[in-house]
Chain A
Amino acid sequence: MSTESGPKAARGAEERAADERAADERETGGGTDGDLGSAGAQLSTAPVEELGQVVPGSFGGVRAPGWRGTVGWTLRECSGWVRWMWRQLTSMRIALILLFLLSLAAIPGSLVPQTSVDEVKAQAWQDAHPTVTPLYRSLGLFHVYSSPWFSAIYILLFISLAGCILPRSWQFVGQLRSRPPAAPRNLTRLPAYATWRTGAGQEQVLGAAEKLMRGRRFRIHRVGSAVASEKGFLREAGNLMFHLALFGLLISFAVGSLWKGEGGKLIVEGGGFSNSLTQYDDFKPGTFYTADDLDPFGFSLDSFEATYARSGPQKGTPRTFRANIHYWLGADGKETKSSIEVNQPLEIGGETVYLIGHGYAPVVTVRDARGKVVYQGPTPFLPSDGSLTSRGVVKVADNYRNRAGGKDQLAFSGIFAPTMVIDNVQGPHSVFPALDRPALVLTAYHGDLGVDSGLPQNVYQLNDKKMKQFRGTNGQPLKAALAVGDVLQLPDGGGSITFDGVKTWASFQVSHQVGNGWALGSAVAAILGLIGSLFIQRRRVWIRATAGVDGVTVVELAGLGRSESAKIADELGDLAHRLLPDAPALPDRDPDAGRAGPDPDADPDPGAVRDAGTTTDPSEEPLLPDEGARA
């Protein structure tokens, strides 16, 4: 905020600029509060808070008679309100409220599972809370960060920001070209002040002052008997850069999500992948990403290494994950050996491949009633806990013939555990994520898998609506725990399933990313801008030399910051110290003060201290206007 006092604050920037010019012309004239106002004006480009109430009719003014009058009045009124709303939208107050709303609005997204973050979890939550789900869905609570209300808040905020930043930038350019305002008449009224008498001439002092300030990289401007100087424009520049960088971030983020391409692929050891749409398990392209943008490359998973803590309190927690791969570029490129780890993605061509997850795929062989192999191979199961208890389904859709020779479809659904334990409470589950005691617990179905219905099906789940569970001789559902090598016979010689072994799978995310560099650049700019904005002081220093009647010159220094800080006083002291050689202080002409004695102000220095006197009693005038105790 500017350092103007209340009534002045309501005035427009143009008026203040005029003030400043007037002050330049007046030089040392005037002795009112207004002086300080212009000296303190434009220390910042922050928008001025508007005071005063607006009511219907505020802008229309006098309504002339007749329809022309009405139209004119209505136009003035409307444009007045539009301008008023724009000023409100771009005011600090609204920016503050919008920022507050933004942080509030972000909260629900952290409490309700988000579809964009974890689809499976969001779905599970919705299934578990059927009553509130429709309401939540209509409020967009499952995709908060792309919901209309969240978007509305940040769009308004950024409009406000633009409306704030543009005029400020331009005002700032104006300030860069203008000269520091002339010294107020009464320097003692400024927050930091020092003075002494010297035998040096006025010109000499002012010349030395100019040199000093220039050397300190202040911008200086001499008016009459005073040198006005100003420094710390980087503060404003930093602040503007920071806010502009926020735009950079927003744009990079938007570009990144519109042009990104991102797909997931699960690969079993020994399997491979080549980069085309049909190969992905799921593919989430941005709006503007097309299949043509896919770079030609591929890779195969040779092996997956995982190690886990074998003992200690964190037993079972992972220690290393590494996917050993071969990759190739182009249609028939050379194969290169490499590996991908959790924090070490691999860049292949223009894409980045991340290791996202891993699990086990039991290898089974299914035979039909004729003894013919109708299904063989690894089937990935999905882990459901930290010890990799996994669930999955082996679906046999084709070729199976039952005892009577009829076509049928089979499904084996169950649990795979790398280190199996069966207890009565938890049922079969795993107690350790490595393959110490692998076992597969299965139950079997036959009937219609529903795969021909054309609806997409989850490969890890069984739609058992049209399926019948096989029953054992005791009439109970058929269920068995198999160790590697075991065979489960279907009832009535309907065939068998053999648990041949286990393979590991790993899932990868292939990402095509754009705008990351821009986002990073904007972030760095934002930090630099912030540092400038928060650590640099914008301040003005005036040095005045007044020739006195007795041939001595009175030197006065005063400093004013955009915000109050002890540093200004320190700096002023330092400046005074450096000015002293060119303007050596004179001993006192007042005989009383020259005497040694206890300092009335308890100055620890055993020297003579004298009062150079002040011209005004500050108590009769208001202190500096409300600036807040900003450091």
Chain B
Amino acid sequence: MTIAAAVNENFANYSNYLIYSAMAVYTFAFLAHMAEWVFGSRSRVAITSAALTAPANAPAIKVVQRTGGTVTLERPKVITRSSTSDRGIADGPGAAGTDEDGDRYGRIAVSLTVLAFALHLGAVVCRGASVQRVPWGNMYEFSTTFGMVAVGLYLGLLAAKKKVRWIGLFLVTSVLLDLGLAVAVLYTDSDQLVPALHSYWLWIHVSCAIISGAVFYLAAVGTFLFLFRDYYEAALTAGRATNPTWANIMDRLPSAATLDKFAYRMNALVFPLYTFTVIAGSIWAQAAWGRYWGWDAKETWSFITWVAYACYLHARATAGWKGRKAAAVALVAFACFIFNYYGVNIFITGKHSYAGV
């Protein structure tokens, strides 16, 4: 074995250690999030609902003016009002409710997630360094990068002051599952690529696929919670009794309208990128196999996924399909994406059989 190869081996080992450390820190973040939810349940969250209390969103128009001296105006206040589709129910306060301990644990969880993300990023970079290429040549590498990008996006949203801490618990849990699966089932030692993957389109196509997947994933979490919260709000507005434990959890989530909007924005944001992913894939297929579209299993499923997301976007614009039905379509579309990712690689042999499992 040459010396260069030994160095690479080192990087590969670092990468593995880093992945395990990241998993450990994610586990602590998970526990902290659990503590946040548990402590949060101590606080009684009164659901603030315009629909249930007074219709209090009468437009109050304000001009802010400093006392004395010349009139310097702040940005004029803009009064907004929402449409009827949301029930006028305000967002819940988040997992911690109004509980201070809960909030502290929530912050700890986020800090731990940042640390875990740094380790995770390091692992992916080392993996890349060990093979001197982009680290997404097999399913192990896809899965680790995918989880990393999802966490990175979440932290990015938090950094941009978006109120998305409610995703934390669900995200950390699923990233742990993702990494567990990657390490236990999909693990492949660092190695070179088969000739069919020698192309800079690999870089473009796969990185776009991973980013699209991560954003679709965040949207799917939002959609999933939307469904629960929407049922809950519907029960609430109809005056039906709900289980108090359940109500306590649901009350702390953002309102159904907010969740729905979040999911839509994520999906709509990334749909053009996913479209580009599919197109980049066909350009690559053209170079590798002499045709840009040949209904190979992977191609077929990316087509199905794409059409399913188009369906979702259409459903949102079609009377009678908004809300839960559109949400169901979005979940089906995400299921197609996941099947294309795991199912096709593992169960169906086609030209894309480079899963390394």
Contact = CB atoms under 8 A, between A and B. Distances in A.
A627 B85 contact: yes
A603 interface: yes
B61 A195 contact: yes
A313 B189 contact: yes
Contacts of A193: 59, 61, 78-80
Interface stretch (A129-137, A214-222, A394-402, A576-584): A576-584
A100 B292 contact: no
Contact of B67 (A106, A317, A607): A607
A116 B58 CA distance: 64
A312 B189 contact: yes
Interface string B41-76: 000000000000001011111111111000101111
B105 to A, nearest CB: 27
Contact of A631 (B82, B265, B319): B265
Given A585-B73, A612-B63, A318 B85 contact: no
Contacts of B235: none
A266 B320 CA distance: 57
Given A110-B301, A356-B290, A523 B321 contact: no
- The contact size tier of chain B is 35 or more
A530 B71 CA distance: 45
A561 to B, nearest CB: 11
Given A117-B295, A619-B58, A534 B300 contact: no
Interface in A598-617: 601, 603, 605-614, 617
A607 B74 contact: yes
Interface stretch (B30-38, B172-180, B281-289): B281-289
Interface string B161-195: 00000000000000000000000000011011011
B286 A516 contact: yes
A622 interface: yes
Interface in B292-314: 292-297, 300-301, 303-304, 307-308, 310-311, 313-314
Contacts of B308: 100, 103
B62 A601 contact: yes
Contacts of A106: 300, 303-304, 307
Interface stretch (B20-28, B113-121, B241-249, B271-279): B271-279
A77 interface: no
Contacts of B59: 188, 193, 614, 618
A277 interface: no
B253 interface: no
A93 interface: yes
Contact of B78 (A92, A192, A585, A629): A192
Given A99-B314, A519-B292, A601-B60, A596 B67 contact: yes
Given A318-B195, A624-B84, A626-B84, A194 B76 contact: yes
Interface stretch (A55-63, A285-293, A337-345): A337-345
B83 A626 contact: yes
A34 B304 CA distance: 42
A1 B348 contact: no
B65 to A, nearest CB: 5
Contacts of A102: 307
Contacts of B344: 110
B290 A192 contact: no
A313 B188 contact: yes
B86 interface: yes
Given A110-B348, A523-B279, A619-B58, A191 B81 contact: yes
Given A318-B194, A569-B80, A576-B78, A92 B314 contact: yes
B191 A309 contact: yes
Given A96-B315, A611-B61, A631-B268, A354 B74 contact: no
A527 interface: yes
A608 B296 contact: no
**Interface hub of A312, A580, A625, A629 (most chain B Cβ within 10 A):** A629
B62 A569 contact: no
A478 to B, nearest CB: 36
B264 A343 contact: no
A530 B76 contact: no
A516 B314 contact: no
**Interface hub of B77, B294, B301 (most chain A Cβ within 10 A):** B77
B227 to A, nearest CB: 14
Interface string A533-545: 0100000000000
B295 A145 contact: yes
A539 to B, nearest CB: 13
Nearest to A107: B304
Contacts of A194: 61, 76-79
A54 interface: no
Contacts of A576: 75-76, 78
A608 B73 CA distance: 11
A151 interface: no
B314 A526 contact: no
A321 B60 contact: no
B24 to A, nearest CB: 25
B191 A313 contact: yes
B264 A631 contact: yes
Contact of B192 (A1, A109, A309, A611): A309
A629 B311 contact: no
B234 interface: no
21 contacts: A92-B314, A99-B314, A103-B304, A110-B297, A188-B61, A196-B63, A262-B290, A318-B195, A343-B195, A511-B290, A534-B272, A557-B76, A564-B82, A568-B80, A576-B78, A584-B71, A603-B62, A605-B64, A618-B81, A626-B322, A628-B317
Given A106-B300, A585-B65, A623-B82, 14 more contacts: A93-B319, A96-B315, A99-B307, A99-B311, A103-B303, A319-B194, A341-B195, A520-B283, A564-B82, A586-B71, A595-B67, A601-B62, A610-B63, A618-B55
